[in-house]
Amino acid sequence: MKTKKLLIIAGSDPSGGAGIQTDIKVATSHKVYASAVITCLTAQNTKKVFAIHNPPISFLKAQLEAVLDDISFDAIKIGMLGNAEIIEVVAKILNKKAPKTKIILDPVMVATSGDILLENDAIQALKKFAKQAFLITPNIDEAEILSKMKIKNVADMKIAASKIQKIGAKNVFIKGGHLKMENLDKKSKIVGAKIKTQKITNILLDEKGDFFEITNNKIAVKNIHGTGCALASAISCNLACKKSLLKSVKNANNYIYQQILQNAKIGNGSLVLKHF
Ligand code: PLP
């Protein structure tokens, strides 16, 4: 079978729990070949982001041109971009060199630890770039910023998804994992030590304007890191393998659910996903 190729454009997390390191692991576990262009370097561990270094913009251009002039990709996954200048360069080069390839944009803004991963003045540039995206995958906090509204429940998620689609992304997938527990189904109760029957609802709004609710049982793990990166990568791998959008999102949702159940404690902070 022909090798499917995913280009990942994202930031480095040297602890391997998030960012490009996780994205590559997800691709490998999906039997998709990963190429990776690094936008920013973070100095972080499972507890905290200590520093961010942006390599010279000319070097980002050189990386993008090198891979895009040589390899034709089945999909492109975008993670941490860091600032407006990086967003603009990525947008311009992709527009020129891969105008037909599906872009999955994870609008990374803030880490689970609360550390800022996107400069404040870059939101406008990100919104402009969203017009090039086949799919955008915000979590609740990012969806609130992009839609300029508070999201308290699933009905709000749908309104926010419509607003984000108006920004220009063809399809919108809002991850519900960060919706506050008190807003979830009140009838749910704890069964066993690990799994609550509370549901997490993710919302897909497709380009035809149809909404799909993709639900999971809420797994009671407190701090887990890298799930957003991994979910967007898993969707990207499915799309690279020519699965439909709905199938891709459902498969990725199941994959992350299983990975969260098998989480690992590798340091003293957040838990991580292993992808094996
Ligand atoms: N570090 C990098 C390089 C990332 O790309 C991301 C998220 O995309 C994070 C950290 C934060 O991941 P999380 O919010 O799961 O902690």
Testing ligand 1's pocket by substitution, the residue of 50, 108, 141 carrying the most ligand atoms inside 8 A of its CB is 108
Is it the case that residue 188 has pLDDT exceeding 80?
no
User: What pLDDT sits at residue 171?
Assistant: 98
Give the position, in ligand 1's atom list, of the atom nearest the Cα of 227. 15
Q: Which protein residue's CA is at the shortest distance from atom 2 of ligand 1? A: 19
Do the beta carbons of residue 49 and residue 80 sit within 8 Å?
A: no
Mutate to test the pocket of ligand 1, among 21, 86, 110, 117 (most ligand atoms within 8 A of CB): 117
CA-CA distance, 206 to 222, in Å (whole number)?
31
Pocket of ligand 1 (CB under 6 A): 10-13, 18-19, 42, 79-80, 108, 111-113, 117, 225-229
Q: Phi and psi (nearest 5°) for 173? A: -125, 110
Averaged pLDDT, 247-273: 96
Structure tokens at 14: 């040297």
Is the pLDDT assigned to residue 194 strictly greater than 60?
A: no
Distance 189 CA to ligand 1 centre (A): 30
- Residue 97 burial (CB < 10 Å; 0-12/13-18/19+)? middle
Give the atom of ligand 1 at the shortest distance from the alpha carbon of 229: 8
- pLDDT of residue 187 exceeding 50, the answer is no
Report pLDDT for 56: 98
Strands 195-205 and 171-174: antiparallel
Residue 165 Cα to ligand 1 middle (Å) = 24
What is the Å distance from ligand 1's center to 229 Cα? Answer: 7
Confidence band, pLDDT 50/70/90 cuts, at residue 165: very high
Between 221 and 80, the more confident residue is 80
The lowest-confidence range among 121-135, 141-155, 188-202 is 188-202
Q: Ligand 1 mean position to 115 CA, how many Å?
A: 9
**Contacts of 52-55 spanning 24+ positions with Cβ under 8 A:** 52/11, 52/82, 52/117, 54/82, 54/83, 54/86
From residue 131, alpha-carbon distances to 62, 63, 95, 102, 139 in Å are 24, 23, 11, 12, 18
pLDDT band per the 50, 70, 90 thresholds, residue 193: very low
User: Is residue 195 scored above 70 in pLDDT?
Assistant: no
Q: Cα separation of 172 and 52, whole Å?
A: 28
